[in-house]
Every structure is written in C-alpha cells, then in structure tokens.
Amino acid sequence: MIPTLEWLPEGVNFLDQTKLPLEETYVLATDYQQVATVIRDMIVRGAPAIGVSAAMGFALGVSQSKATDIASLNDEVAIIAKTLAETRPTAVNLFWAIDRMRAKYNALAEAGTSIPEIKAALIKEAQQMYDEDIAACKSMGAHGAALLPQQGTVLTHCNAGALATCGYGTALGVIRAAVERGHNIDVYADETRPYLQGARLTAWELLHDNIPTTVLCDNMAGSLMRQGKIQAVIVGADRIAANGDTANKIGTYSVAVLAKEHGIPFYVAAPLSTIDVNTPDGDAIPIEQRAATEVTHSNGRQMTPNGAAIQNPAFDATPAKYITAIITEHGVLQAPYEQSIKEMFQKAATGSELATA
C-alpha cells in the first residue's frame, strides 16, 4: 500500500506529490499551519486524503496548544478550523472532516473533559478517520469490481487512487479490486492538464502495482472511444450534489459526454463523505480557481504569450444524467439519484448495505 500520509509523534508526514513520478520524498508538517500549506499547495491532494489531512492538522493544532482553560482553547480551535477550511473550497471532504473534529471537540469540552484527555481523544479520532478511509476504499472496490469488464480497457481521468486517499483508492481502488479478482484490465490514464495528475500520479501508482497503463493526451479519449478501444470509464469525485451531479477534475464533464455518445458506462467512485446533501445540484458547487502560472508555465518555462488571458478552474461539474452509477462504500447508487442517495444515508445510519448492481 502506498503511504500517502502518516501521523507521527512529531507531526504529519506527507508524500510530496508535486515531486512524483521522478522523486519520492516526504514533507513533515510540524504544526497545523504547515498542514494547511501542504493541502493548499497540493503536496497532498484528492478529496478523501484532504479530509484526513485536515483532521490530522486539527488534532495537531489542538495537541500543541498552550491553553490552560477551555475558553482559551475554544478560541484557538476556531482559528485552527478556519485556517484549514480556507485551503481548498471544492472538496467537501475537507469541511466534513473539520466538522467531525469540531463536533468531537465540542462534545468533549461540554462534558468537562480535561484538556490533556481532549488532545489524546482528537488524535485518536483523526487516526480512526485514516483507518476508516482505507476500509471505505476497499469496500468500494468490493462493490464496484463487478461493474468493470472481465477483459478490456478502462479510462480514468485525474488521480483517484492510493495517492488521493490514505492508501488504496476510490476509482483506482475499484480497478485494483477487479484485477485482484482476476479481471484482465488495461488502463488508459488521461494526462489531466494542467497539473498532470494522470500522467504523473495515476500512471506511477498503477505501474507500481503492475497494472498495464497507457497515458493519453486529454483530447484523445473521443477518438479511442469511436474505435471501440475503451469499455468503461471510472473517475473519483470531490463533491457530489444531492441530485447526483458530480464535481471532479476539470475535463471530466467532456469525458462523460463522450462516453454517453459512444454508449460506454461512466462510473463515479467516492465515499459517503463526498456526497453533500446540502448542495442541491452541480451549479451550486463552488469551483476552485487556481493560479494562471499552472497554465502559462511548464517545467519553469513560459508557454503562452504575455497578455493572453488564462482560465484555470480546477474542477467541472458533470450532470447526473451522464453518470451510469455511483459506487460508494455502502453500495452502488443508480438513478434517480435523489432517491438512491437518501436511501443510502438511511441505510448507512442503520449499518446496512445497499445491493450492488
């Protein structure tokens, strides 16, 4: 399993994904401000990994507090939560994790728990979220593996693998699970401009697991679909609205439209924490705008003329009508998504599972 992030006594250790695939180095964040920088600068990325990173950053900040009374600690907790929440706006797992950590803190504080006990409990909560993420990804793989072809080629966009989670992956976790069950699958990985998560990260980790992988330029998928060379598409998600509309890395929408046109199933794999029932549809999902230099420059060299305007949204929203199924740790959801999502939350609350497709 690829170690994306790890809690250590001295801080949180992150695999630096900006250096992959040529250099495997780690960045140690020793306070919550450094964790926030790691998230903002995409040293760690992927919605589930961002969520767990924020939880660990929260625990780290509280554990290092010098506060001697709850009132003072309350003030620090508010600052810690605000700092972490301002890093990346689209990935709802970030806010889910912060809310969960704040709820845990509030319950302990209101119960009169001592500050040392609060610190230990928050560290334990963050570590539990890490374990839960790996278990959820493996459960997604178990639910989704049968949806992929027994033999054929699967296209993925961006990186929704071990590097985007705590070690197994959502979309790539489904691919891994299918391979483990004997499916003979090759993978096409869109390069995913401008940050090249597919070319740098997806290809690196799949080859690490000996899964045959071919990198495509982002504008090649339609042609290969027309030639019958792609049997399924599977991607991850940074936020899924209540109606099933899904925000994922920019370019996902185009792939989904192409898949629909060519009769190819288009799957989304994401944990329950990525579904935001308070966001009604894709138009209401906040889309992160990133620096123009990610587009204007490559390997330190300017690629566009001075004066050219730049658009660099990190994500787009794919309407639910293009999505064949949404794979979660609790089962496979199908349209109408408003209904199946409500049922999933109800069943998850009782500990039961939805039927797989």
- Per-domain residue ranges of the chain: 5-138, 142-350
The residues carrying an active-site annotation are: 238
Rounded CA-CA distance 241/332 in Å is 16
Report pLDDT digits (tens) over 62-121.
999 999 999 999 999 999 999 999 999 998 999 999 999 999 999 999 999 999 999 999
Helical H runs in 162-300?
A: 171-180, 197, 203-208, 221-226, 252-261, 293-296
Residue in 169, 160, 166 with CA at minimum distance from that of residue 141: 169
Instruction: Label residue 305 exposed, middle or buried (CB < 10 Å: 0-12, 13-18, 19+).
Output: exposed
Torsions phi, psi of 80, nearest 5? -60, -50
pLDDT band at 145 (very low <50, low <70, confident <90, very high): very high
For domain 142-350, give the CATH number: 3.40.50.10470
Contact assessment for residue 254 and residue 235, using Cβ atoms and an 8 Å cutoff: no
In percent, how much of the chain has pLDDT > 70? 98
Q: Which two tokens stand for residue 53?
A: 């990173």
Mean pLDDT of 47-52: 96
Contact assessment for residue 329 and residue 140, using Cβ atoms and an 8 Å cutoff: yes
Strand pairing class (315-318; 246-249): antiparallel
Mean pLDDT of 30-58: 97
pLDDT band at 349 (very low <50, low <70, confident <90, very high): confident
- Matching CATH number, 5-138, of 1.10.10.10, 3.40.50.2300, 1.20.120.420, 2.60.40.10: 1.20.120.420
Residue 35 scores a pLDDT above 50: yes
How many helices (H) and strands (E) are present in the chain, helices listed first?
A: 12, 16
* Residue 352 pLDDT: 57
Residue 357 scores a pLDDT above 80: no
Torsions phi, psi of 28, nearest 5? -95, 115
Strand partners, 152: 185
